[in-house]
Chains A and B, each alone.
Chain A
Amino acid sequence: MSVDHALHRLYPIEQIRSDFPILARPVRGKKLVYLDSTASAMKPRAVIDAESQVYAEEYANIHRGLYYLSERATARYEESRRTVQRFVGAAHAHEIIFTRNTTESINLVAASFGRRFLSAGDEVLISGLEHHSNIVPWQFLVEEKGTVLKVVPVEADGSVSLESFAKALGPRTKMVAVAHVSNVLGTVLPVAEMIQMAHDAGAKILIDGAQSVVHLPVDVATLDCDFYAFSGHKLYGPTGIGVLYGKQELLDAMPPYQGGGDMIATVSFAKSTWAPLPAKFEAGTPAIAQVAGLAAAIDYVQQIGLDRIAVHEHDLLSYATTRLNQLEGLRIVGTAKGKAAVISFVLDYAHPHDIAQILDGCGVAIRAGHHCAQPLMAQFGLPATARASFGLYNQRSEVDALVAAIGKVEEMFKG
């Protein structure tokens, strides 16, 4: 058996790619090379079908409907919650709250936990590589309640050291909120240790898992984090659906985030009482079809296996890193050990926007800009970077296409 054949049996990339209809479409007359899964991932047929199947066959508003379709839709919605529960290893299904996305999950915790448990002078600790969605919600509390936002600095290679983290943790730290994986640099933060250290310091800790659930297996019970947030659309699932995992005792102690239907037990004009978890945090009609799509996405990645996906992506990352490092004038930003399959880079002869534009003309989709992490960019002294990121459907030939397209940029801008 040839090596190629053996590899193919381990990871049938052609078959996997054929599961994603959009990968077959040409872009600007070229074969699409999609290297922007960190921004949003493409959807397999199973996800598209699950969502449309809800609308075509089992759709009605969920909860309280006294008829067949509502019962079916409700059952599927709650079954999907259990799929998510098993996926992240939560003890209870009602510890899984459906939100719009990671951003809303973090806002929920900042608003609700913050309102109840944080007061003037209390410190919220984040890292220097956070996405804006894990910075701005905590800044609201600084203005509203007089809390203090502290930042653990990022090292030159893009890592966050436990020494710096330990130094920044203090007696007034009440909440720690950090990314598991950096969306710009791919750095994997040592969250297991950070969770332990935060707890030892008496703080609660939220993990922004937007970039991690797609790259590595996550188990919130083993991690022992208090909150874990992620989005469906980066996990090959639909847009408009996100997840907040929270420990039951914390979610129970927190006030509702939004008021409305579904989240109440009783309502009178004098006073209302709240429904138990998870309904307390799911006011209004939720993203019913998207929840089914998210469950289908989880089934899909689990069928391939997150471990195998991680091996495949790591192979792409090391191949891409080697190839890119051979290019003169190219510098990779973020070189922390054990990083995820995200490569930010700059060229000394072309601006990231021009790079992305030329690459687009070659059918290669990458992102250029500050990646919603302006403070991190400022620390590295860069206005922007170009970023290529890899998903489960990418292959080595696409790294070759990226390298060839960068050759076009060189041709145009060095000429």
Chain B
Amino acid sequence: MSEDLRDLYQEVILDHGRRPRNKRLLETANHLAHGENPLCGDKLTVFVKVNGQGVIEDVSFQGQGCAISTASASLMTEVMMGKTEAEAAALFASFHALATGAPPPDAAGLEDEMDRLDVLAGVREYPVRVKCATLAWHTLQAALHDQQRVTTE
């Protein structure tokens, strides 16, 4: 197995791909959106419960996808738990930069979260897979902005 592939499929990713966290229906959600990547047929729904103070109290997802998109969704729900909507937006921007290789925006105070997400940086070498990694994130953004549907095509 080549080193490049080991970079892409790190143990953490394989683990989250096999046993995704927070992959469940969230009945108390007050925001949700459906995301689709028509190219690979990946489909997922992201559920979010935001409280009166604008804090993400709970976030989950359901759906089908490849190991990269499932692991990314799983890791996303973990780092988003308890974040404010402003922090969620900052994490989205930082993650997008991480996945595409763009210059990272300021993510002061979110360094630990970005460290955790660094396992997904390998996708930037594979343009087609960037969409897999960012699907859940675009869908969460859409949910928070009360857009029902998003596609990464």
Which residues of A line the B interface, CB within 8 A?
A: 28-29, 350-354, 357-358, 361, 368-370, 374, 377, 382-384, 408, 411-413, 415
Contacts and interface: CB of A to CB of B under 8 A. Distances in A.
Contacts of B68: 353-354
Given A353-B132, A357-B129, A411-B1, 6 more contacts: A29-B2, A353-B66, A358-B9, A361-B4, A368-B40, A377-B41
A411 B6 CA distance: 12
A354 B67 contact: yes
A351 B39 contact: no
Given A353-B132, A357-B126, A357-B129, A383 B64 contact: yes
14 contacts: A29-B2, A351-B40, A351-B65, A351-B66, A351-B67, A353-B66, A353-B132, A354-B66, A357-B126, A361-B1, A369-B41, A374-B41, A377-B41, A411-B1
B41 A383 contact: yes
B65 to A, nearest CB: 7
A177 to B, nearest CB: 23
B5 interface: yes
Interface in B93-143: 126, 129, 132
Given A377-B41, A413-B67, A353 B4 contact: no
6 closest A-B pairs by CB: A383-B41, A351-B66, A353-B66, A361-B5, A384-B41, A361-B2
B83 interface: no
A357 B4 CA distance: 11
B8 A357 contact: yes
Given A350-B67, A383-B64, A413-B67, A358 B5 contact: yes
A377 B2 CA distance: 32
A412 B66 contact: no
B42 A412 contact: no
B40 A353 contact: yes
Interface size class of B (residues with CB under 8 A): 20 to 34
Contact of A370 (B9, B41, B126): B41
A386 B138 CA distance: 26
A354 B17 CA distance: 11
Nearest to A382: B41
Nearest to A351: B66
Interface string B30-52: 00000000111111000000000
Contacts of B38: 370, 374
A384 B40 contact: yes
Contacts of A357: 5, 8, 126, 129
Contacts of A353: 40, 42, 66, 68, 129, 132
Contacts of B64: 383
Contact of B14 (A361, A368, A369, A413): A413
Contact of B1 (A369, A377, A384, A412): A412
A408 B65 CA distance: 20
A61 B68 CA distance: 50
Given A354-B67, A369-B41, A383-B41, A28 B2 contact: yes
Contact of A383 (B1, B8, B43): B43
Contacts of B132: 353
Given A351-B65, A357-B129, A369 B4 contact: no
A413 B43 CA distance: 21
Contacts of B18: 413
Contacts of A354: 9, 66-68
Given A351-B67, A413-B14, A369 B40 contact: yes
Contacts of A383: 40-43, 64
Contacts of A374: 38, 41
Contacts of B40: 351-353, 368-370, 383-384
B90 to A, nearest CB: 29
A354 B5 CA distance: 10
Nearest to A29: B2
Contacts of B4: 28, 361
A27 B8 CA distance: 18
A412 B9 contact: yes
B39 A369 contact: yes
A377 B39 CA distance: 12
Contacts of B39: 369-370
Contacts of A361: 1-2, 4-5
B53 to A, nearest CB: 38
Contacts of B2: 28-29, 361
A217 to B, nearest CB: 35
Contacts of A370: 38-41
B64 to A, nearest CB: 6
A361 B41 CA distance: 22
A258 B135 CA distance: 40
Which one of A29, A350, A352, A412 has the highest number of Cβ atoms from chain B below 10 Å of its Cβ?
A: A412
B10 to A, nearest CB: 11
Nearest to B1: A408
A144 B79 CA distance: 50
Which one of A29, A352, A357, A384 has the highest number of Cβ atoms from chain B below 10 Å of its Cβ?
A: A357
Nearest to B43: A383
A384 B126 CA distance: 19
Contacts of A351: 40, 65-67
